[in-house]
Structure 1
Amino acid sequence: MLTSTYTLDLLYEDQWITLVNKPSGLLVHPSWISHPDEPTLVGLLKERYPDQVVHTVHRLDRATSGVILFARDKDAVKSLNAQFAEGSVKKTYLCVVRGWTDDEGTIDYALKPIYDKFADPLADPDKAPKPAITHYKTLARVELPIPVGRYPVARYSLVRVQPETGRKHQIRRHMKHILHPLVGDTNHGEGRHNRLFREHFDCHRLLLMATELHCQHPVTQAPLHFKAPLDAQTLSVFDRLGWENIQLFEV
Protein backbone atom coordinates (compact mmCIF):
# COMPACT_ATOMS: atom_id res chain seq x y z
CA MET A 1 0.00 0.00 0.00
CA LEU A 2 1.41 3.38 -0.98
CA THR A 3 1.37 5.29 2.30
CA SER A 4 4.41 7.51 1.76
CA THR A 5 2.36 10.64 1.00
CA TYR A 6 0.85 10.65 4.49
CA THR A 7 2.20 10.32 8.01
CA LEU A 8 0.30 9.66 11.22
CA ASP A 9 -0.45 12.78 13.25
CA LEU A 10 -0.96 11.12 16.63
CA LEU A 11 -2.92 13.02 19.27
CA TYR A 12 -2.78 10.27 21.90
CA GLU A 13 -2.03 6.57 22.25
CA ASP A 14 -1.90 3.98 25.00
CA GLN A 15 -2.33 0.21 25.05
CA TRP A 16 -6.11 0.49 24.58
CA ILE A 17 -6.81 3.46 22.28
CA THR A 18 -5.24 5.66 19.63
CA LEU A 19 -6.43 9.06 18.46
CA VAL A 20 -5.28 10.57 15.19
CA ASN A 21 -5.66 13.95 13.51
CA LYS A 22 -6.76 12.79 10.04
CA PRO A 23 -5.93 15.04 7.09
CA SER A 24 -8.53 15.97 4.51
CA GLY A 25 -8.35 13.69 1.48
CA LEU A 26 -7.27 10.53 3.31
CA LEU A 27 -9.72 7.62 3.41
CA VAL A 28 -10.25 5.88 6.73
CA HIS A 29 -10.91 2.49 5.07
CA PRO A 30 -10.46 1.18 1.54
CA SER A 31 -13.49 1.98 -0.60
CA TRP A 32 -15.04 0.43 -3.69
CA ILE A 33 -14.17 3.66 -5.54
CA SER A 34 -10.56 3.83 -4.34
CA HIS A 35 -7.48 2.48 -6.08
CA PRO A 36 -6.07 -0.73 -4.49
CA ASP A 37 -2.81 1.11 -3.75
CA GLU A 38 -4.46 4.24 -2.35
CA PRO A 39 -3.28 4.97 1.20
CA THR A 40 -5.79 4.77 4.06
CA LEU A 41 -5.66 5.71 7.71
CA VAL A 42 -6.26 2.09 8.72
CA GLY A 43 -3.32 1.10 6.52
CA LEU A 44 -1.06 3.58 8.29
CA LEU A 45 -2.18 2.22 11.66
CA LYS A 46 -1.47 -1.36 10.55
CA GLU A 47 2.05 -0.26 9.73
CA ARG A 48 2.43 1.23 13.21
CA TYR A 49 0.88 -1.76 15.00
CA PRO A 50 1.78 -4.74 12.78
CA ASP A 51 0.97 -7.31 15.46
CA GLN A 52 -2.32 -5.81 16.61
CA VAL A 53 -5.83 -5.39 15.22
CA VAL A 54 -6.99 -1.78 15.28
CA HIS A 55 -10.75 -1.34 15.49
CA THR A 56 -12.75 1.54 14.03
CA VAL A 57 -15.43 2.87 16.39
CA HIS A 58 -16.55 5.83 14.26
CA ARG A 59 -15.65 7.38 10.93
CA LEU A 60 -14.85 10.60 9.14
CA ASP A 61 -15.52 11.19 5.45
CA ARG A 62 -12.50 11.35 3.16
CA ALA A 63 -12.93 15.12 2.75
CA THR A 64 -13.31 15.82 6.48
CA SER A 65 -10.24 16.34 8.64
CA GLY A 66 -9.73 16.06 12.37
CA VAL A 67 -9.82 13.86 15.42
CA ILE A 68 -10.76 10.20 15.03
CA LEU A 69 -10.66 7.47 17.68
CA PHE A 70 -9.58 3.84 17.32
CA ALA A 71 -9.69 0.96 19.81
CA ARG A 72 -6.83 -1.49 20.20
CA ASP A 73 -8.51 -4.40 21.97
CA LYS A 74 -11.96 -6.01 22.10
CA ASP A 75 -12.86 -4.73 25.57
CA ALA A 76 -12.07 -1.17 24.49
CA VAL A 77 -14.25 -1.66 21.40
CA LYS A 78 -17.22 -2.77 23.51
CA SER A 79 -16.88 0.14 25.91
CA LEU A 80 -16.50 2.76 23.19
CA ASN A 81 -19.31 1.33 21.07
CA ALA A 82 -21.57 1.52 24.13
CA GLN A 83 -20.61 5.14 24.70
CA PHE A 84 -21.42 6.03 21.09
CA ALA A 85 -24.71 4.09 21.24
CA GLU A 86 -25.88 5.90 24.38
CA GLY A 87 -24.80 9.28 23.03
CA SER A 88 -22.24 10.06 25.71
CA VAL A 89 -19.44 10.77 23.23
CA LYS A 90 -19.43 14.47 22.36
CA LYS A 91 -17.98 15.52 19.01
CA THR A 92 -17.36 19.12 17.95
CA TYR A 93 -16.71 20.37 14.43
CA LEU A 94 -15.85 23.66 12.75
CA CYS A 95 -17.20 24.49 9.32
CA VAL A 96 -17.38 27.42 6.93
CA VAL A 97 -20.77 27.97 5.33
CA ARG A 98 -22.34 30.24 2.78
CA GLY A 99 -24.25 33.22 4.16
CA TRP A 100 -24.61 34.62 7.66
CA THR A 101 -26.00 32.07 10.08
CA ASP A 102 -28.01 32.90 13.21
CA ASP A 103 -25.98 33.38 16.38
CA GLU A 104 -26.92 29.86 17.45
CA GLY A 105 -29.57 27.26 16.81
CA THR A 106 -30.63 23.63 16.72
CA ILE A 107 -31.52 21.78 13.54
CA ASP A 108 -34.01 19.02 14.26
CA TYR A 109 -34.64 17.49 10.85
CA ALA A 110 -34.91 13.77 10.13
CA LEU A 111 -32.61 12.44 7.42
CA LYS A 112 -33.20 9.57 5.07
CA PRO A 113 -30.37 7.01 5.26
CA ILE A 114 -27.77 7.21 2.52
CA TYR A 115 -26.68 3.84 1.18
CA ASP A 116 -23.93 2.89 -1.20
CA LYS A 117 -25.70 0.54 -3.61
CA PHE A 118 -22.39 -0.87 -4.83
CA ALA A 119 -21.01 -1.57 -1.35
CA ASP A 120 -24.39 -2.75 0.01
CA PRO A 121 -26.62 -4.00 -2.83
CA LEU A 122 -29.23 -5.31 -0.37
CA ALA A 123 -29.72 -1.94 1.33
CA ASP A 124 -33.28 -0.61 1.14
CA PRO A 125 -33.18 2.92 -0.37
CA ASP A 126 -36.78 3.58 0.72
CA LYS A 127 -36.26 3.36 4.47
CA ALA A 128 -37.94 6.11 6.46
CA PRO A 129 -35.98 9.17 7.60
CA LYS A 130 -34.18 8.82 10.92
CA PRO A 131 -34.17 11.45 13.70
CA ALA A 132 -31.20 13.80 13.38
CA ILE A 133 -30.30 16.75 15.61
CA THR A 134 -27.45 19.23 15.19
CA HIS A 135 -26.59 22.17 17.45
CA TYR A 136 -24.57 25.09 16.11
CA LYS A 137 -23.06 28.39 17.20
CA THR A 138 -21.70 31.12 14.95
CA LEU A 139 -18.14 32.17 15.84
CA ALA A 140 -17.48 34.73 13.09
CA ARG A 141 -18.84 36.24 9.90
CA VAL A 142 -17.27 37.94 6.91
CA GLU A 143 -18.43 39.87 3.86
CA LEU A 144 -16.16 39.78 0.83
CA PRO A 145 -16.31 42.36 -2.01
CA ILE A 146 -16.54 39.56 -4.56
CA PRO A 147 -19.69 39.22 -6.71
CA VAL A 148 -21.37 35.81 -6.72
CA GLY A 149 -24.24 35.36 -9.15
CA ARG A 150 -26.65 38.29 -8.77
CA TYR A 151 -25.16 39.37 -5.45
CA PRO A 152 -22.45 42.09 -5.36
CA VAL A 153 -20.79 40.59 -2.27
CA ALA A 154 -20.18 37.15 -0.81
CA ARG A 155 -20.99 36.36 2.83
CA TYR A 156 -19.68 33.47 4.91
CA SER A 157 -19.88 32.24 8.50
CA LEU A 158 -17.54 30.24 10.70
CA VAL A 159 -19.70 27.83 12.70
CA ARG A 160 -19.05 25.47 15.60
CA VAL A 161 -21.26 22.40 15.24
CA GLN A 162 -22.13 19.60 17.66
CA PRO A 163 -24.19 16.74 16.22
CA GLU A 164 -26.39 14.97 18.74
CA THR A 165 -26.94 12.07 16.35
CA GLY A 166 -24.62 10.46 13.82
CA ARG A 167 -26.33 10.21 10.43
CA LYS A 168 -24.24 10.03 7.28
CA HIS A 169 -23.30 13.51 6.04
CA GLN A 170 -25.46 14.92 8.84
CA ILE A 171 -23.70 18.27 9.22
CA ARG A 172 -23.46 18.81 5.48
CA ARG A 173 -27.12 17.93 4.90
CA HIS A 174 -28.41 19.87 7.90
CA MET A 175 -26.56 23.06 6.98
CA LYS A 176 -27.86 22.76 3.43
CA HIS A 177 -31.36 22.32 4.88
CA ILE A 178 -31.16 25.74 6.57
CA LEU A 179 -29.75 27.22 3.32
CA HIS A 180 -26.17 27.52 4.56
CA PRO A 181 -24.26 24.81 2.66
CA LEU A 182 -20.64 24.11 3.49
CA VAL A 183 -17.87 25.63 1.43
CA GLY A 184 -16.04 22.97 -0.55
CA ASP A 185 -18.92 20.48 -0.42
CA THR A 186 -19.22 19.01 -3.90
CA ASN A 187 -22.23 16.84 -2.95
CA HIS A 188 -24.47 19.21 -0.99
CA GLY A 189 -22.86 22.62 -1.54
CA GLU A 190 -22.87 25.29 -4.26
CA GLY A 191 -20.34 25.27 -7.07
CA ARG A 192 -20.07 29.07 -7.29
CA HIS A 193 -18.91 29.40 -3.70
CA ASN A 194 -16.59 26.41 -3.93
CA ARG A 195 -15.04 28.00 -7.01
CA LEU A 196 -14.63 31.35 -5.23
CA PHE A 197 -12.56 29.71 -2.49
CA ARG A 198 -10.48 27.82 -5.03
CA GLU A 199 -9.75 30.90 -7.14
CA HIS A 200 -9.29 33.52 -4.40
CA PHE A 201 -7.89 31.44 -1.52
CA ASP A 202 -6.38 28.42 -3.28
CA CYS A 203 -8.59 26.29 -1.03
CA HIS A 204 -9.52 22.98 -2.64
CA ARG A 205 -10.91 21.14 0.37
CA LEU A 206 -14.17 20.74 2.23
CA LEU A 207 -14.09 23.20 5.12
CA LEU A 208 -15.34 20.75 7.73
CA MET A 209 -12.98 19.89 10.58
CA ALA A 210 -13.58 17.54 13.51
CA THR A 211 -11.83 19.60 16.17
CA GLU A 212 -12.75 18.06 19.54
CA LEU A 213 -13.87 14.79 21.07
CA HIS A 214 -15.03 14.10 24.64
CA CYS A 215 -15.38 10.54 25.93
CA GLN A 216 -14.52 8.29 28.84
CA HIS A 217 -11.45 6.12 28.71
CA PRO A 218 -12.72 2.60 27.94
CA VAL A 219 -10.67 1.01 30.74
CA THR A 220 -9.84 3.63 33.39
CA GLN A 221 -13.15 5.50 32.88
CA ALA A 222 -11.26 8.79 33.18
CA PRO A 223 -12.85 11.70 31.28
CA LEU A 224 -10.91 12.50 28.11
CA HIS A 225 -10.95 15.63 25.95
CA PHE A 226 -8.94 15.69 22.74
CA LYS A 227 -8.34 18.63 20.40
CA ALA A 228 -7.14 18.45 16.80
CA PRO A 229 -5.32 21.58 15.57
CA LEU A 230 -6.19 22.89 12.14
CA ASP A 231 -3.79 22.42 9.26
CA ALA A 232 -1.66 25.30 8.02
CA GLN A 233 -3.66 25.82 4.80
CA THR A 234 -6.96 26.14 6.65
CA LEU A 235 -5.44 28.53 9.19
CA SER A 236 -4.08 30.60 6.31
CA VAL A 237 -7.58 30.86 4.81
CA PHE A 238 -8.97 31.89 8.20
CA ASP A 239 -6.28 34.56 8.51
CA ARG A 240 -7.18 35.99 5.10
CA LEU A 241 -10.82 36.09 6.16
CA GLY A 242 -9.91 38.06 9.29
CA TRP A 243 -10.55 35.17 11.66
CA GLU A 244 -7.01 34.81 13.01
CA ASN A 245 -7.98 35.76 16.58
CA ILE A 246 -11.16 33.69 16.86
CA GLN A 247 -11.40 31.26 19.80
CA LEU A 248 -11.72 28.05 17.79
CA PHE A 249 -11.87 25.53 20.63
CA GLU A 250 -14.26 25.33 23.54
CA VAL A 251 -12.80 26.64 26.77
Structure 2
Amino acid sequence: MKLEILYQDDALVVVNKPSGLLVHRTDLAKNEQDAVVQRLNEQLGKWVYPIHRLDRATSGALVMAFDSESAQKLGIQFMDRSVNKEYRALVRGFTDAQGVIDYPLAKLNEEKGRSRFKIEGTEKDAISHYKTLEQYELPIAVSRYPSMRLSLVSVAPEHGRTHQIRRHFKHIFHPLMGDTRYGCRHHNQSLRASGFEDLRLMLHSHTLTFSHPVNFESITVSAPLPHDFQLVLDKINDLKV
Protein backbone atom coordinates (compact mmCIF):
# COMPACT_ATOMS: atom_id res chain seq x y z
CA MET A 1 0.00 0.00 0.00
CA LYS A 2 1.17 3.53 -0.77
CA LEU A 3 2.06 5.78 2.13
CA GLU A 4 0.11 8.99 2.71
CA ILE A 5 2.31 11.96 1.76
CA LEU A 6 1.74 14.94 4.07
CA TYR A 7 4.45 17.22 2.63
CA GLN A 8 7.05 16.91 -0.12
CA ASP A 9 9.60 19.12 -1.88
CA ASP A 10 13.05 18.63 -3.42
CA ALA A 11 14.76 18.18 -0.04
CA LEU A 12 12.38 16.15 2.12
CA VAL A 13 9.15 14.27 2.48
CA VAL A 14 6.83 13.80 5.46
CA VAL A 15 4.58 10.74 5.56
CA ASN A 16 1.80 9.54 7.84
CA LYS A 17 3.28 6.25 9.05
CA PRO A 18 0.70 3.56 9.80
CA SER A 19 0.82 1.59 13.02
CA GLY A 20 2.58 -1.76 12.67
CA LEU A 21 5.10 -0.64 10.03
CA LEU A 22 8.83 -0.43 10.73
CA VAL A 23 10.67 2.78 9.82
CA HIS A 24 13.52 0.73 8.33
CA ARG A 25 14.62 -2.88 8.28
CA THR A 26 16.41 -4.03 11.41
CA ASP A 27 18.15 -7.08 12.83
CA LEU A 28 15.58 -7.02 15.64
CA ALA A 29 12.95 -8.07 13.07
CA LYS A 30 15.03 -10.07 10.59
CA ASN A 31 12.01 -11.69 8.92
CA GLU A 32 10.25 -8.37 8.31
CA GLN A 33 11.04 -6.89 4.90
CA ASP A 34 8.33 -4.23 4.75
CA ALA A 35 9.32 -0.79 6.08
CA VAL A 36 8.73 2.92 5.42
CA VAL A 37 12.12 3.41 3.75
CA GLN A 38 11.59 0.54 1.31
CA ARG A 39 8.01 1.57 0.51
CA LEU A 40 9.05 5.15 -0.20
CA ASN A 41 11.95 4.01 -2.38
CA GLU A 42 9.44 2.23 -4.60
CA GLN A 43 6.66 4.79 -4.29
CA LEU A 44 8.80 7.84 -5.13
CA GLY A 45 11.46 6.16 -7.26
CA LYS A 46 14.39 7.54 -5.27
CA TRP A 47 16.33 6.89 -2.10
CA VAL A 48 15.23 8.43 1.21
CA TYR A 49 17.20 9.00 4.41
CA PRO A 50 15.37 8.42 7.71
CA ILE A 51 15.80 11.37 10.11
CA HIS A 52 14.11 10.15 13.28
CA ARG A 53 12.14 7.09 14.29
CA LEU A 54 8.75 6.12 15.59
CA ASP A 55 8.07 2.87 17.40
CA ARG A 56 6.66 0.22 15.10
CA ALA A 57 3.24 0.41 16.78
CA THR A 58 3.15 4.23 16.76
CA SER A 59 1.57 6.02 13.82
CA GLY A 60 1.93 9.54 12.50
CA ALA A 61 4.18 12.22 11.03
CA LEU A 62 7.62 10.94 10.02
CA VAL A 63 10.31 12.97 8.19
CA MET A 64 12.64 11.61 5.50
CA ALA A 65 15.28 13.48 3.46
CA PHE A 66 16.28 13.03 -0.18
CA ASP A 67 19.97 13.81 0.24
CA SER A 68 22.62 13.33 2.92
CA GLU A 69 23.17 17.05 3.54
CA SER A 70 19.50 17.71 4.21
CA ALA A 71 19.39 14.59 6.35
CA GLN A 72 22.30 15.84 8.45
CA LYS A 73 20.77 19.30 8.97
CA LEU A 74 17.39 17.84 9.94
CA GLY A 75 19.03 15.29 12.20
CA ILE A 76 20.81 18.06 14.11
CA GLN A 77 17.46 19.73 14.78
CA PHE A 78 16.06 16.56 16.30
CA MET A 79 19.20 16.05 18.38
CA ASP A 80 19.32 19.62 19.73
CA ARG A 81 15.58 19.53 20.53
CA SER A 82 14.64 22.44 18.24
CA VAL A 83 11.87 20.37 16.60
CA ASN A 84 8.46 20.82 18.21
CA LYS A 85 6.65 17.49 18.47
CA GLU A 86 3.06 16.93 19.52
CA TYR A 87 1.51 13.49 20.00
CA ARG A 88 -1.98 12.22 20.75
CA ALA A 89 -2.39 9.40 23.23
CA LEU A 90 -5.27 7.56 24.89
CA VAL A 91 -4.43 6.70 28.48
CA ARG A 92 -5.93 4.99 31.51
CA GLY A 93 -7.77 7.09 34.07
CA PHE A 94 -8.60 10.78 34.31
CA THR A 95 -5.48 12.90 33.85
CA ASP A 96 -5.04 16.41 35.23
CA ALA A 97 -6.04 19.28 32.94
CA GLN A 98 -2.34 19.74 32.18
CA GLY A 99 0.96 18.69 33.62
CA VAL A 100 4.71 18.22 33.24
CA ILE A 101 6.38 14.84 33.68
CA ASP A 102 10.02 15.39 34.63
CA TYR A 103 11.42 11.91 35.10
CA PRO A 104 14.88 10.79 33.92
CA LEU A 105 14.85 7.55 31.97
CA ALA A 106 17.47 4.82 32.28
CA LYS A 107 18.25 2.02 29.87
CA LEU A 108 16.40 -1.19 30.64
CA ASN A 109 17.86 -4.66 30.84
CA GLU A 110 16.23 -6.72 28.10
CA GLU A 111 17.75 -10.17 28.68
CA LYS A 112 15.37 -12.98 27.87
CA GLY A 113 14.22 -14.94 30.89
CA ARG A 114 14.89 -12.09 33.30
CA SER A 115 12.57 -9.44 34.69
CA ARG A 116 13.11 -6.02 33.11
CA PHE A 117 15.06 -3.65 35.34
CA LYS A 118 16.82 -0.30 35.09
CA ILE A 119 20.55 -0.20 34.46
CA GLU A 120 21.94 2.08 37.14
CA GLY A 121 24.01 5.02 35.93
CA THR A 122 22.35 5.25 32.49
CA GLU A 123 19.68 7.80 33.44
CA LYS A 124 19.10 10.71 31.04
CA ASP A 125 16.91 13.78 31.46
CA ALA A 126 13.43 13.40 29.99
CA ILE A 127 10.57 15.91 30.18
CA SER A 128 7.08 15.64 28.68
CA HIS A 129 4.32 18.27 28.76
CA TYR A 130 0.71 17.21 28.39
CA LYS A 131 -2.80 18.62 28.17
CA THR A 132 -6.05 16.71 28.54
CA LEU A 133 -8.28 16.99 25.47
CA GLU A 134 -11.14 14.64 26.41
CA GLN A 135 -12.19 12.40 29.28
CA TYR A 136 -14.41 9.36 28.97
CA GLU A 137 -16.21 7.10 31.43
CA LEU A 138 -17.35 3.80 29.93
CA PRO A 139 -19.82 1.23 31.34
CA ILE A 140 -17.10 -1.44 31.24
CA ALA A 141 -16.08 -3.16 34.45
CA VAL A 142 -12.35 -3.48 35.02
CA SER A 143 -10.69 -5.12 38.04
CA ARG A 144 -12.74 -4.03 41.08
CA TYR A 145 -14.22 -0.96 39.39
CA PRO A 146 -17.69 -0.92 37.77
CA SER A 147 -16.65 1.50 35.02
CA MET A 148 -13.57 2.43 33.00
CA ARG A 149 -12.07 5.91 32.84
CA LEU A 150 -9.92 7.06 29.94
CA SER A 151 -8.32 10.33 28.80
CA LEU A 152 -7.25 11.59 25.40
CA VAL A 153 -4.15 13.75 25.84
CA SER A 154 -1.87 15.94 23.76
CA VAL A 155 1.80 15.32 24.63
CA ALA A 156 4.83 17.45 23.77
CA PRO A 157 8.08 15.68 24.69
CA GLU A 158 11.13 17.92 25.13
CA HIS A 159 13.44 14.97 24.62
CA GLY A 160 13.20 11.95 22.36
CA ARG A 161 14.21 9.11 24.67
CA THR A 162 13.29 5.56 23.74
CA HIS A 163 9.64 4.92 24.64
CA GLN A 164 9.60 8.25 26.50
CA ILE A 165 5.87 8.94 26.33
CA ARG A 166 4.96 5.33 27.09
CA ARG A 167 7.29 5.16 30.10
CA HIS A 168 6.39 8.61 31.38
CA PHE A 169 2.67 7.92 31.47
CA LYS A 170 3.27 4.59 33.15
CA HIS A 171 5.30 6.50 35.76
CA ILE A 172 2.31 8.75 36.61
CA PHE A 173 -0.04 5.72 36.67
CA HIS A 174 -1.80 6.61 33.40
CA PRO A 175 -0.34 4.02 30.99
CA LEU A 176 -1.25 4.12 27.32
CA MET A 177 -4.11 1.94 26.15
CA GLY A 178 -3.12 -0.89 23.84
CA ASP A 179 0.46 -0.86 25.15
CA THR A 180 1.52 -4.47 25.66
CA ARG A 181 4.89 -3.48 27.12
CA TYR A 182 4.18 -0.76 29.65
CA GLY A 183 0.38 -0.73 29.69
CA CYS A 184 -2.32 -2.09 32.01
CA ARG A 185 -3.16 -5.68 31.11
CA HIS A 186 -6.54 -5.52 32.87
CA HIS A 187 -7.71 -2.41 31.03
CA ASN A 188 -6.52 -3.68 27.66
CA GLN A 189 -8.22 -7.04 28.14
CA SER A 190 -11.49 -5.50 29.37
CA LEU A 191 -11.64 -3.08 26.45
CA ARG A 192 -10.87 -5.77 23.88
CA ALA A 193 -13.54 -8.03 25.39
CA SER A 194 -16.08 -5.22 25.00
CA GLY A 195 -15.93 -4.88 21.23
CA PHE A 196 -12.51 -3.27 20.81
CA GLU A 197 -10.73 -6.29 19.30
CA ASP A 198 -8.78 -3.98 16.99
CA LEU A 199 -7.24 -1.98 19.87
CA ARG A 200 -3.68 -0.92 18.97
CA LEU A 201 -1.07 1.13 20.80
CA MET A 202 -2.95 4.41 21.11
CA LEU A 203 -0.09 6.75 20.31
CA HIS A 204 0.07 9.01 17.25
CA SER A 205 2.67 11.58 16.13
CA HIS A 206 0.25 14.37 15.33
CA THR A 207 2.29 17.50 14.52
CA LEU A 208 5.91 18.36 13.73
CA THR A 209 7.36 21.86 13.41
CA PHE A 210 10.92 22.27 12.13
CA SER A 211 13.14 24.50 9.97
CA HIS A 212 13.58 23.63 6.32
CA PRO A 213 17.16 22.40 5.75
CA VAL A 214 17.62 24.53 2.60
CA ASN A 215 15.64 27.77 2.93
CA PHE A 216 15.30 27.66 6.77
CA GLU A 217 11.60 28.50 6.66
CA SER A 218 9.46 27.11 9.48
CA ILE A 219 7.38 24.11 8.42
CA THR A 220 4.47 22.66 10.39
CA VAL A 221 3.01 19.34 9.26
CA SER A 222 0.05 17.62 10.90
CA ALA A 223 -0.92 13.98 10.41
CA PRO A 224 -4.64 13.15 10.60
CA LEU A 225 -5.56 10.38 12.99
CA PRO A 226 -5.55 7.09 11.06
CA HIS A 227 -8.68 5.00 10.68
CA ASP A 228 -7.75 2.44 13.35
CA PHE A 229 -7.10 5.14 15.98
CA GLN A 230 -10.23 7.13 15.08
CA LEU A 231 -12.34 3.95 15.09
CA VAL A 232 -11.46 3.32 18.74
CA LEU A 233 -12.36 6.91 19.64
CA ASP A 234 -15.67 6.64 17.77
CA LYS A 235 -16.57 3.45 19.65
CA ILE A 236 -15.66 5.10 22.94
CA ASN A 237 -17.87 8.10 22.17
CA ASP A 238 -20.75 5.77 21.38
CA LEU A 239 -20.33 4.00 24.74
CA LYS A 240 -19.41 6.81 27.13
CA VAL A 241 -21.69 7.56 30.04
Q: TM-score under structure 1 normalisation?
A: 0.86
Deviations 1:191-241 (A, max 9, x none): 111122322223331000111100111101111110111122322221222
Aligned to 1:21: 16
Matching residue of 1:216: 211
Q: CA deviation at 1:26?
A: 0.5
Q: Which residues of 2 match residues 87-98 of structure 1 at below 5 A?
A: 87-98=81-92
Give the equivalent residue in structure 1 for 2:133: 139
More divergent stretch after superposition (126-135 vs 150-159): 126-135
CA distance in 2, matches of 1:174, 1:107: 7
Mapping of 1:176-191 within 5 angstroms? Answer: 176-191=170-185
Partner of 1:155: 149
Secondary structure (helix, strand or coil) at the match of 1:242 reads helix
- Structure 1 unaligned runs (5+)? 1-5, 119-124, 244-251
Take 1:212 and 1:184, find their aligned partners in 2: how far apart are those partners?
21
Q: Is the 8 A contact 1:114 1:168 kept in 2?
A: no
1:113 and 1:167 in contact (8 A); partners too: no
The CA deviation string for residues 96-124 of structure 1, in whole angstroms up to 9 with x for no partner, is 00000000000000000347779xxxxxx
1-structure distance, mates of 2:185, 2:225: 24
**Could you say what the CA RMSD is over the residues aligned between the two structures, in angstroms?**
2.0
Structure 2 residue aligned with 1:233 = 228
Partner of 1:247: none
Give the gaps of 5 or more residues in structure 2: 113-118
Residue 43 of structure 1 and its aligned partner are, at CA, apart by 0.9
Partner residue, 1:109: 103
Once the two structures are superposed, residues 116-168 of structure 1 have per-residue CA deviations (whole angstroms, 9 ceiling, x without a partner) of: 779xxxxxx55420000000000010111111111111100000000000100
The one-letter code matched in structure 2 to 1:100 is F
Q: 2-side partners of 1:31 and 1:12: how far apart?
A: 26
The aligned residue for residue 192 of structure 2 is 198
- Cα distance in 1 for residues equivalent to 2:74 and 2:110: 26
How do residues 24-173 of structure 1 correspond to structure 2 at under 5 angstroms? 24-50=19-45, 52-114=46-108, 125-173=119-167
Give yes or no for the alignment of 1:7 onto 2:2.
yes
1:241 alignment partner, SS class: helix
Paired residue secondary structure (1:185): coil
Distance 1:191 1:94 in 2: 21
Q: Check conservation: 1:197, 1:203, Cα contact below 8 A.
A: no
Larger mean Cα displacement after TM superposition, 30-39 or 13-22: 30-39
How many aligned residue pairs are there?
232
The percentage of aligned residue pairs carrying the same residue is: 45
Determine the C-alpha separation between the residues in 2 that align with 1:177 and 1:134.
12
Equivalent position of 1:248 in the other structure: none
Aligned CA distance change for structure 1 residues 239 and 178 (closer, same or farther; 3 Å)? same
